[in-house]
Amino acid sequence: MKTRDKIILASLDLFNERGERNVTTNHIAAHLNISPGNLYYHFRSKTDIIYEIFLQYQLLVDHYLQLPQGRQLTLEDKIYYLESVFDGLWSYRFFHRDLEHYLDSDERLRRDYREFTMRCLRTIREILSRLQDAGILCRVEDGHMKSMALNVWLVVTSWLSFLKTSQGDDGQEITRDMLRQGVYQVITMEIPYLTDEYRDRVLSLQQKYLPGSLDRMSAI
Amino acid sequence: MKTRDKIILASLDLFNERGERNVTTNHIAAHLNISPGNLYYHFRSKTDIIYEIFLQYQLLVDHYLQLPQGRQLTLEDKIYYLESVFDGLWSYRFFHRDLEHYLDSDERLRRDYREFTMRCLRTIREILSRLQDAGILCRVEDGHMKSMALNVWLVVTSWLSFLKTSQGDDGQEITRDMLRQGVYQVITMEIPYLTDEYRDRVLSLQQKYLPGSLDRMSAI
């Protein structure tokens, strides 16, 4: 592996494990047993590393959210989209933690992230629309669907932060499985729109993802 | 005003305006024309100031979310809850920006914020339940209502971050009015549950909060 790629990978690991605020470029260089000067040759700052990590994250999500051509969407497609997106969030989990700070620090990232968001929102709308074509969801008015797509985005992108801030009173670490439980929350928003034909199947699929945090709420 | 209260107020202003990462206790002292030693006499660290600010925020939200006794909820109550909560988020807007960092830095805050979250979720459930009693929303199964309450929380707490990361390509600042547009998103989740009696009134109320960002989506 090239040094440049090693730096990106090691940075992502360290940011995810320790939090980006606690990791300097010197930590990254030390972790890789390379000199700070060598790291600096590839990346002039942590900001540049974060931007590269974002580009990889963006590629991954765009790849996950590809829509099949020439056939209708299936329930399996829908579950694949949801699980993949949460897995992507898991792999790049440091990124949404202080996103605003990264965007304030880097004009390129600010612009690219905004475009990425708008692209994802458009794709979520397209997925909702094709789930209607497939007879899985009922038809809804276009303005309402835009607003639904935005709520899907808000729930997906905030789920990890919710887990981290509301769970773990017994020192429990957040796991990939807990992150996947966000699928439950997204399906909750779609339940009233399910057609009679698919209703029972989706409700039963949803149970696989029941979040522990909802159990905790009942205990209160 | 007591020095201690002045410090809390000035810190909140500076954190909101400049971002907490960019504000040190020395900045706060200089802003108030007091010595760092004087500030230190009241607060040993920025962490202690943030904790005090959280206590005030919590008091405010608990106050906003009080439920009336001896009468049913009205639509006006519902709108009051939503607007107040978004106004509260506006006044303490730095707080949700790098919340995880604050929680990692302060065990008290971590515990108290977790309890605050659970209390809010319980109250949101109670509000949804009483909107059903009032004939504004249709009855739903309890597990589904818990999950709906959690989605309301996720949408409300992530709305500001969405605005900050997706808007502002023309250097536009986020305003209190834009934050209030989050009301639109919350109502979107409730639309399928509205009773026939209230449907048209709520849909027409919702239009007052139409987010500019949804208009932008159509432009794409």
Q: Are both B178 and B96 inside the same structural domain? A: yes
Q: Is the pLDDT of residue A214 over 70?
A: no
Query: From CA B83, how far away is CA B59, in angstroms rounded?
Result: 16
Contact A103 B164 (CB under 8 A): yes
- On whether the CB atoms of residues A47 and A69 are closer than 8 A, the answer is no
B209 shares a domain with B181: yes
Q: Of the given ranges (A41-55, A157-171, B69-83), which has the lowest mean pLDDT?
A: A157-171
Banded pLDDT at B130 (limits 50, 70, 90) = very high
Of A100, A155, A213, the CB nearest to B164: A100
Confidence of residue A167 (pLDDT cuts 50, 70, 90): confident
Position A215 confidence tier, pLDDT thresholds 50, 70, 90: low
Predicted local confidence at residue B31, as pLDDT = 96
Write down the mean pLDDT value for chain A.
92
Residue A121 identity (one-letter amino acid)? L
Give the pLDDT of residue B21. Answer: 87
Closest Cα in chain B to A159:
B154
**Which of B1-10, B147-156, B173-182 has the least mean pLDDT?**
B173-182
* Better pLDDT: A220 or A21: A21
Indicate if A24 and A63 belong to the same structural domain. no
> Model confidence at B101, in pLDDT bands (50, 70, 90)?
confident
Residue A194 pLDDT: 97
- What is the pLDDT, as a whole number, of residue B99? 87
Q: What is the count of structural domains for chain A?
A: 2
Instruction: Answer whether residue A220 shows pLDDT above 50.
Output: no
- B134 touching A (Cβ < 8 Å): no
Question: Is pLDDT at A30 greater than 90 in this prediction?
Answer: yes
CATH number at residue B18: 1.10.10.60
Sorting pLDDT into bands at 50, 70 and 90, what band is B98? confident
Contacts of A150 in chain B (CB under 8 A): 162, 185, 211, 213-214, 217
What ipTM does the predicted assembly reach?
Answer: 0.93
- Residue owning tokens 């205990």: A219
CA distance B149 to B132: 13
Looking at the structure, do residues A62 and A143 belong to the same domain, yes or no?
yes
A100-107 contacts at long range (C-beta below 8 A, 24 or more positions apart): A100/B19, A100/B97, A100/B98, A100/B161, A100/B164, A100/B165, A101/B19, A101/B21, A101/B97, A101/B98, A102/A47, A102/A50, A102/A54, A103/B164, A103/B165, A104/B19, A105/A47, A106/A47, A106/A50, A106/A51
Give the HSE-up count for residue A139: Cα atoms under 13 Å, Cβ half-sphere.
Answer: 2
A157 within 8 A of A120, measured Cβ to Cβ: no
Tens of pLDDT, residues A126-138: 999 999 999 999 9
Q: Is the pLDDT of residue A212 over 90?
A: no
Is there a contact between A188 and B103 if contact means CB atoms under 8 Å apart?
no
Token pair recorded at residue A196: 């009679």
Same domain, A158 and A77: yes
* B204–chain A Cβ distance below 8 A for any pair: no
> What are the tokens at A161?
């932060």
Whether residue A123 sits in one domain with residue A14 = no
User: Minimal CA–CA distance to A55: which of A12, A20, A97?
Assistant: A12
- Output the six-digit token pair for A127: 């997925």
Provide the percentage of residues in chain B whose pLDDT is more than 90. 80
Q: Are residues A112 and A152 in the same domain?
A: yes
Interface test with B, best of A147, A193, A215 (most B CBs within 10 A): A147
* pLDDT tens by residue, B64-95: 999 999 999 999 999 999 999 999 999 999 99
CB B165 within 8 A of CB A99: yes
Q: Nearest 5°: CA angle at B166, between A45 and B20?
A: 55
Q: Is the pLDDT of residue A168 over 80?
A: no
Residues B194 and B167 in one domain: yes
Find out whether A127 and A156 touch, Cβ atoms under 8 Å. no
- Are B66 and B151 in the same domain? yes
- For the stretch B162-171, pLDDT in tens is 998 888 666 6
> Residue range B22-30: average pLDDT?
95
CA angle B11/B115/B142 to nearest 5° reads 130
Residue by residue, what is the 3-state secondary structure of chain A?
CCHHHHHHHHHHHHHHHHCHHHCCHHHHHHHHCCCHHHHHHHCCCHHHHHHHHHHHHHHHHHHHCCCCCCCCCCHHHHHHHHHHHHHHHHHCCCCCCCHHHHHHHCHHHHHHHHHHHHHHHHHHHHHHHHHHHCCCECCCCHHHHHHHHHHHHHHHHHHHHHHHHHCCCCCCCCCHHHHHCHHHHHHHHHHHHECHHHHHHHHHHHHHHCCHHHHHHHHC
How many CB pairs (< 8 A) connect A and B?
A: 142
All residues of chain A having their beta carbon less than 8 Å from the beta carbon of residue B125 are 217
Q: Tell me, what's the pLDDT at B220? A: 43
Same domain, yes or no, for B39 and B74? Answer: no
Minimal CA–CA distance to B194: which of B134, B116, B147, B142? B134
- Residue B217, pLDDT score: 61
Are B216 and A117 in contact (CB < 8 Å)?
Answer: no
How many Å apart are CA B121 and CA B147, to the nearest integer? Answer: 10
Nearest to B103 by CA among A21, A20, A164: A164
Question: Which domain does A74 fall in, by range?
Answer: 46-217
Contact B101 A97 (CB under 8 A): yes
DSSP E strands, B148-196: none
- B67: domain CATH number is 1.10.357.10
Give this prediction's pTM.
0.93
Q: Please report the pLDDT score of residue A96 as a whole number.
A: 85
Confidence (pLDDT) at A79:
94
Count of residues for chain A?
220
pLDDT for residue A113 is more than 80? yes
Give Cβ neighbours of residue A111 (< 8 Å, ≥ 6 apart).
Answer: B169
State residue A49's pLDDT score. Answer: 97
Regarding whether B95 and B111 lie in a shared domain, the answer is yes
A188 contacts chain B (CB < 8 A): yes
- Is residue A217 very low, low, confident or very high in pLDDT (cuts 50, 70, 90)? low
Quick check: helix, strand or coil at residue B7?
Answer: helix
Residues A36 and A71 in one domain: no
Residue A153 has pLDDT above 60, yes or no: yes
